[in-house]
Chain A
C-alpha cells in the first residue's frame, strides 16, 4: 500500500512525457544584422541546456523565437519533431520565466498561478487544486493571497516558476532567472529549479551570461558568440576541450602561450614554445607543421619547480595569493606572457632562485591555430 501512495504522489507531480526540442538552421535578422545566425541545436527529452554567452550574442533572441515572441528570418523549431513555427506564442504551450519575473502586479499569487489555467478554460475545481499543488511545490502555500510586491525577490521568482509550470508546458524556458537574486539565494534557487526540473522531467532551456550558473545547472551548454553557437557540449567537455579560442577564453581562466609546431608524429604534436620549452600534445587535424599556434592551459594544469628540463620553461615569479586551500601564483615568461598558476598549498614552497614552469602530468592543454584577427 505504501508504494501505491508513493506512486500517486509521483503521478500527481508527473507531467506528460518530456519532449525533444530541435532548432534547425535558425536565423533572426534585426535590420541589416543577423542576431541569430544559422543556429542548430538538438535537445534531448528532459535535458537542461544553457545558452551561454556575452550580452548581445543572440541567446535571448533565440529564446524569444522558441517562445514565439520573435519571428525568425529562416530555419525551424520543432517540439517532438512537429514544427511550431506557424503557431502564435499563446498556442505553443511553452512556459517561460523572465529575468524580472513579470508577475501580474494587480493579481494575487493564486491569481497569477491560475492565469494560464483560466486562459485555457480549465474547470475551476481543477484550477483550485493545481494552485494548491504548484504553490506547495515551490513552498509558497501560505502566500496565496499576497500581492507580488509583498514578496521578496526569491519568492516572486518561485511564483513565476509555479505560474509557468501550472499549465504543464511541453518546454520550460528560463531567461536569466537568477540574475536579480543575491549570491546565496541564487545558489538555493539554482538547486530548487534543478530539483523541480528533475521531478517534472521537463526539457529546459536556460539563458545566462554566468558561466558558473551554466556549469552547475545545465546538462549541456551551448556557448554563443555573435549569433552563432561556438560549441555545444557537456560542461566538462567545454571546460576541458574548448573547440574555439572564444570558448576557451569565455569559460574559466586560462593562460595563452605562443609557439610553433616543430613536428607532428602521428597522434602527438611537438610544439616549441616561444617561452623556451618543447611540449608534446595530442594532434589536431587543422594544424600543420611549422604553423604558429596558441597553447591554452588552465591555471591548475601548470606547476612550478626549481629543476630545469626540456619541457619546462623559465619564469620570473610574481605575487602569490592564498585562496582557500590553494595558492595562486603570478609568473612572467621570458617572452613576456603573464601566467596564472594554481597549486595546492604545500608545506614546502618552491625555493627561490631559478623557477621553471611546466605542464602538470595530467594536463590537457588546447591548441589553436594562431589567427591574426
Chain B
C-alpha cells in the first residue's frame, strides 16, 4: 500500500469528526456572537452579559471546584485500592476488577438514582448512622455538594482506577524488593518508588475524572438539584428552558475553555513528571 492509500483509511473517522464535532463547535461559536435569542442581530451582547455577571464566575469556580474535590476523593480512595489490587492473589484480582468496572456497565441514570436511595433523608446512610447512634438527626445529603461529591466519587472511580492499575501492574515487582533490601520502610518505598513511577497512570486518571465530573450533567442535576448550579445545568436552562441559545453558547464555551485549561495544565505536569520514565 502506498502512503496516500494509508491515510485514506482515516477518512471516515475524519469526516465524522469534522461533521459531528468541528462543524457544530464552529456553529456554537458563531451563535454566541448574536445579541438576541432569535439569532438575528450579531453582536457581543451575550459575552458582555455572561462575563459582566459575578454569578457566572461563581458557577465556573463551583464547577471547577466540584471537579477538584471529586479528583481528590477518587485519588485518596482509589490509590490505596490500586495498591490492594496489586498485592491481591490473581483470583481475587479478577473479582476486584469486576467490582471496579461494574459502575461502567450500569447506566448513569441507574447509578444516580441508586445514590438517591442511599443519600436520602430516610436513605441507607442516614438510617445506618442513626441506628449506630453516630448522629441524632438525619444528615442532609441530597442537594448538597457533599452528597454530590460522594456519588460522583463512586461513579467516576473506574476512570481513576483503570489507568492507575494498568500502569502499576507494569511496574517491576523487584523494585519493591530492591527498595526493601536497601533498608527502606514500606512508606519510603511507596513515596519514593511506587508513587513517582505510577505518576503517568495517576495523571491520566485525574484527567478523566476531572473532565467527566465537571460535565456530569445527570448526576449534578439529579443529586445536586436545581439549587446547586454548575455550568452544565446553566447551559441546559438557558438553551432548553429559556431558549436563549446565544447565552447558552457563551456558557458552553466558558465550560469548554475552563475544563480544557485545567486538563492541559494537568497533562503538561504529567508529561513533565513522567518524561524520564519512558525509554
Contacts and interface: CB of A to CB of B under 8 A. Distances in A.
Contacts of A150: 279
A93 B174 contact: no
B87 interface: no
B177 interface: yes
Given A106-B196, A106-B277, A167 B175 contact: no
19 contacts: A68-B180, A89-B180, A89-B181, A96-B178, A98-B174, A102-B172, A102-B175, A105-B197, A105-B279, A106-B197, A115-B179, A115-B184, A116-B184, A119-B179, A147-B276, A149-B279, A163-B182, A164-B181, A164-B182
A340 B192 CA distance: 56
Given A102-B172, A106-B196, A115 B181 contact: no
A243 to B, nearest CB: 33
Contact of A93 (B183, B196, B197): B183
Contacts of A106: 196-197, 276-277
B40 interface: no
Contacts of B172: 100, 102
A309 interface: no
A67 interface: yes
A94 B172 CA distance: 20
A29 interface: no
B174 A90 contact: no
Given A100-B172, A106-B277, 13 more contacts: A68-B180, A68-B181, A88-B180, A89-B180, A90-B184, A91-B183, A96-B177, A102-B175, A102-B177, A104-B179, A115-B179, A119-B182, A120-B183
Interface of A: 64, 67-69, 88-96, 98, 100, 102-106, 115-116, 119-120, 147, 149-150, 163-164, 167
Nearest to A92: B181
Contacts of B193: 104
A49 to B, nearest CB: 18
Given A100-B172, A106-B277, A147-B276, A69 B177 contact: yes
Given A100-B172, A104-B193, A105-B279, A119 B178 contact: no
Nearest to A98: B174
A64 B176 CA distance: 13
Given A96-B177, A100-B172, A147-B279, A119 B183 contact: yes
B131 interface: no
A67 B185 contact: no
A119 B181 contact: no
Contacts of B271: none
A100 B183 contact: no
B49 interface: no
Interface string B159-203: 000000000000010110111111111001000110011000000
A94 B174 CA distance: 15
B174 to A, nearest CB: 4
Contacts of B185: 90, 119
Contact of B177 (A67, A95, A103): A67
A106 B272 CA distance: 12
A104 B194 CA distance: 10
B185 to A, nearest CB: 6
A69 B184 CA distance: 13
A67 B276 CA distance: 30
A90 B181 contact: yes
